[in-house]
Amino acid sequence: MAARTGLTLLALGGVAALLSCGSPGDGTATHLAGAGLAPTTRTAAQPAATTAPALTPESTPSPSRRTVTVTRPLPFPTTTVKDSSLADGVRKVRTRGVAGLERLTYTVTLLDGVQTERRLVGRVTLKAPVRQVTVIGTKVVATQACDPNYSGACVPIASDVDCAGGSGNGPAYVQGPVRVIGVDIYHLDSDGDGIGCE
């Protein structure tokens, strides 16, 4: 009886030894359903394969073109001429200038709504401008000579000078008062106080 018990333990020990076979951590385990059965192997679950999303190439925006028409004024040209009938240095507009009008046509290129190019393709004059003409006088006016015997007012040099507003008959006149600083050749200082045409 003791001998049979020992054999049974020995057989069970062999099964235990077989159950312990296999490397721990290698993902497999050996199972024996009973004595003399072939072992079965269980493989650790592998993660499911994932499919990478397909890459979609970015679309490149296409440029668009349109025609733009602009109307704007045309500045008038100017000319300056000399005029000997006007006193020297006097400026006068003889013909007043008038602005014209023109129409410009452009081809505009847009990319994503932003203007990238603007090219002039047409120009039409709708109204021609009128040239402005300015004249400048060149006539030299002789400076009136004043008699050096008087001061305070210009007493002209003439055959005779009288006080303006008086009874004298000229031919020249002076608006007083004037101071006699030399010889009173025109007798403007009638009372002899040195001041004439009071």
pLDDT in tens, 163-192: 988 888 888 999 989 999 999 999 999 888
Q: Are residues 156 and 132 in the same domain?
A: no
What are the CA-CA distances from residue 36 to residues 11, 61, 148 (Å)?
11, 75, 161
Determine the Cα–Cα distance for residues 141 and 88; give it in Å rounded to an integer. Answer: 8
In this structure, are 129 and 83 located in the same domain? yes
Is 162 within the bounds of a domain? yes
In a domain, 34, yes or no: no
Please answer whether residues 81 and 126 qualify as being in contact, where contact means their C-beta atoms are separated by less than 8 angstroms: no
pLDDT score at 15: 41
Q: Which of 130, 133, 74, 126 is nearest to 98 (CA)?
A: 130
Q: Which residues of the chain, if any, have pLDDT below 50?
A: 1-41, 43-44
Chain mean position to CA 170: 70
Query: Which of 139, 158, 183 corresponds to the end of one domain?
Result: 139
Q: What is the pLDDT of residue 49?
A: 55
* Alpha-carbon span 89 to 188, nearest angstrom: 36
Tokens of 103: 């129409």
Residue 106 in domain? yes
Per-residue confidence (pLDDT) for residue 61, from 0 to 100: 77
How many domains, the chain? Answer: 2
pLDDT at 12: 42
Residue 53, pLDDT score = 57
Q: Tokens 């305070």 correspond to what residue? A: 152
150 and 132 housed in the same domain: no
Q: Whole-model pTM?
A: 0.40
The domain of 128 spans 64-139
- Whether residue 159 sits in one domain with residue 133: no
Q: What is the dihedral of CA 8, 12, 13, 14, to 10 degrees?
A: 110
Burial of 110 (0-12, 13-18, 19+ CB in 10 A): middle
Read off the tokens for 198.
């009071």
pLDDT at 10: 40
Asked whether residue 107 is domain-assigned, the answer is yes
Percent helix, strand, coil in the chain, to 5, is 10, 40, 50
For residue 166, the model assigns a pLDDT of 80
Question: Of 139, 157, 178, which residue sits at a domain end?
Answer: 139
Q: C-alpha angle 82/87/88, rounded to 5°?
A: 65
* Domain shared by 133 and 151, yes or no: no
CATH code, domain carrying 70: 2.20.230.10
Q: What is the mean pLDDT of the chain?
A: 78
Q: Which of 139, 170, 186 is the C-terminal boundary of a domain?
A: 139
Considering all CA atoms of the chain, what is the largest pairwise distance in Å, rounded to the nearest integer?
A: 189
Please report, as a single letter, which amino acid is at residue 25.
G
Please state, in angstroms and rounded to a whole number, the distance separating the CA atoms of residues 177 and 166.
12
Rounded to an integer, what distance in angstroms lies between the CA atom of residue 32 and that of residue 22? 13
